[in-house]
């Protein structure tokens, strides 16, 4: 909801809470793309992400009358994040067999690689960004979610704690471990940064 005055957002929220579907649609439309990108990075498939976002928005509409406290954006992200993590848990209960044989080139690291480039240096490097997306996909869901909420969506640690329903210390730990894992993957792929 960047660029929109808080008063206007609050007015839309109040109208939506009173049953105004257009006000809710306006609020949801502002976050729908960001929600979709966030969810697809968690679950990995566009079809699942579309379903999860639609389900999350429908759930938000059904419970908008009881909305309070969090920012509307954080509230929507909480609902969508929970739906995405539920989807991943349900996949674990019903594992799918891969159609292709395992790739012999897959590398697993027994110990972490030495610290490397800061992830903020990657902004203009498309190849590195693709590697980051791949690395994010390999992280445990909880680390990936916390890292995406902080480094991609820009939520504060306190907001992430509320969105994910875990303590701030756990949030910080997940983000730190996630950043190190992504960095290790980039180093393993030979990325040395803009100067390297």
Number of domains in the chain: 2
Residues 70 and 128 in one domain: no
pLDDT tens for each residue of 50-104: 999 999 999 999 999 999 876 899 999 999 999 999 998 887 765 554 444 444 3
pLDDT tens for each residue of 28-62: 999 999 999 999 999 988 999 999 999 999 999 99
For residue 104, being part of any structural domain is answered with: no
Provide the CATH number for the domain around residue 164. 1.10.10.10
For residue 110, being part of any structural domain is answered with: no
Residue with tokens 């044989």: 101
Give the confidence band of 22 by pLDDT, cuts at 50, 70, 90. very high
The pTM of the full predicted model, rounded to 2 decimals, is: 0.73
3-state SS, one letter per residue, for the chain: CCCCCHHHHHHHHHHHHCCCHHHHHHHHHHHHHHHHHHHHHHHCCHHHHHHHHHHHHHHHHHHHHHCCCCCHHHHHHHHHHHHHHHHHHHHHHCCCCCCCCCCCCCCCCCCCCCCCCCHHHHCCCHHHHHHHHHHHHHCCHHHHHHHHHHHHCCCCHHHHHHHHCCCHHHHHHHHHHHHHHHHHHHHHCCCCCCCC
Domain containing 173 equals 119-188
pLDDT tens for each residue of 126-149: 776 777 788 888 889 999 999 999
């Amino acid at each position: 909801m960047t660029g929109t005055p808080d008063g206007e957002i609050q007015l839309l929220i109040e109208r939506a809470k009173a049953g105004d579907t257009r006000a809710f649609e306006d609020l949801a439309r502002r976050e729908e793309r960001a929600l979709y990108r966030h969810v697809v990075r968690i679950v990995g498939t566009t079809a699942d992400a579309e379903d999860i976002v639609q389900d999350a928005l429908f759930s938000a509409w059904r419970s908008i009358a009881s909305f309070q406290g969090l920012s509307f954006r954080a509230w929507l992200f909480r609902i969508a994040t929970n739906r995405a993590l539920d989807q991943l848990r349900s996949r674990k209960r019903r594992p799918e067999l891969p159609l292709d044989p395992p790739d012999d080139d897959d590398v697993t690291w027994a110990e972490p690689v030495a610290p490397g480039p800061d992830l903020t240096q990657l902004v203009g490097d498309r190849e590195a960004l693709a590697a980051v997306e791949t690395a994010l996909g390999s992280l445990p869901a909880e680390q990936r979610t916390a890292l995406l909420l902080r480094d991609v969506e820009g939520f504060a640690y306190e907001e992430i704690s509320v969105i994910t329903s875990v303590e701030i210390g756990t949030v910080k730990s997940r983000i730190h471990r996630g950043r190190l894992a992504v960095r290790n993957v980039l180093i393993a792929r030979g990325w040395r940064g803009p100067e390297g």
